[in-house]
Amino acid sequence: MNEASVTLNAIEEARARLKGLVHETPLDMSHTITTLADRETYLKLENLQRTGSFKIRGASNCIMTLSPEQKERGIIAASAGNHAQGVALGGTMNAIRSTVVMPEAAPLAKVQATKGYGANVVLHGKTFDESLAKAMEIQKETGAYFVHPYDDPMVIAGQGTVGLEILEQCPDIENIVVPAGGGGLLSGIATAVKNKAPHVKVYGVQSEKAPAIYLGKKQNKWVSHPSGKTIADGCAVGMPGKLTFSLIQKYVDDMLLVKEEDIAAAMLLVLERGKLVMEGAGAMPVAAALQHLIPTPGKTALVISGGNIDVNTVSRIIETGLMRTGRRVKLETRMADRPGELVKFIKHLEKMQANILSITHERVDRSLLLGETLVSVELETKNAAHVNEIEEELRQAGYTIEVR
């Protein structure tokens, strides 16, 4: 495989092939992000795609180009979840047996959805790279065709159709920001965009916990880098594709890096203000925009790559986001263990219009002096400034406050 195998013509053929199978997802302007990011911002909503992510594009395009003999032997894939669903549905729609190897810690929602689309699921390994090695082992044993999650010309071409849609939906777009793990979506979009509208800037974005492509781009060479635990589990790839990286080197203007807490905050913002569910990988472009990391000005499209997220994770994201934005805080203080002291403390909170969510009053703790009590309180607050005002009010009243 080489970069010459991924062309604008191949991407346009993929789009014709996928017509009627995948949705042309909306490109919607976000007034909230436009205001906060200080740039006219549009969201390419691949979280509204069939199977909940862009992966159906590349997987289906690859499967539809297989020979009858290859289809007969079945298909196999490795995936953290979204590619798994794309392969499962693509296989079922073409009456092909499919097997998908997923990390043992893959979100339950993605595992169940993959089985529901008709695939045999094998859970193996703690990371995607371990799952990938297992899938290659099974492929050698069975002769099934391996549908690579990103480093395959037909997969890349399928993902590139997202870029064609953005250019048609907003011909005067100036920047496109794309999440990256293995690089299939980023390399496909960049190939399409730079061959049709070379003036448009294309940026990739990764989490600090999974920065392999970012590091490779900065060092001007392909590198592998172990992926840490990241909320952007769909992009937790330690070994990006060789083909995808070659295309990224050729077409992508720069790579951006975002923090885990900023990804969580972006997910919460879009959930609350935009009424849209994004998974961690899909939220990375939003995080980059909100942190003002995009280096060039102008009209910008953020590719929201998927929306498949476990509801338990959503709950944790909400909690984390509320804490980070100062809308929920835990305070701890000590006070005299005598009648009326707790009431006095609560009256200060009432004065500051802080809503008490929970409160504990510990009289027995090895760190306490005789006659002391430890009070921990969780508050619903307005913002970070409000939290600072509450702390100042309590300190002025003589309390020693610790924020948890």
Q: What is the pLDDT of residues 267-282, one digit of tens each?
A: 999 999 999 999 999 9
CA 85 to chain centre: 16
Between CA 27 and CA 24 the distance in angstroms is 9
Enter the CATH code of domain 12-48+155-319. 3.40.50.1100
* pTM of the predicted protein model: 0.86
Confidence (pLDDT) at 311? 81
**CATH 3.40.50.1100 domain range(s) in the chain:** 12-48+155-319, 74-142
361 pLDDT exceeds 90?
A: no
1 pLDDT exceeds 70?
A: no
Class of domain 74-142: alpha beta
Degrees, nearest 5: CA angle 183-39-198: 50
Confidence (pLDDT) at 67? 94
**CATH 3.30.70.260 domain range(s) in the chain:** 327-401
- Locate 20 and state its tokens: 């009627």
Between CA 240 and CA 226 the distance in angstroms is 11
184 pLDDT exceeds 90?
A: yes
User: 31-60 in b/e burial notation, b at 16+ Cβ within 10 A?
Assistant: eebbebbebbbbbbbbbbbbbbbbbbbbbb
Asked whether 21 and 93 are in contact (CB, 8 A), the reply is yes
Under CATH, which architecture does the 327-401 domain have?
A: 2-Layer Sandwich (3.30)
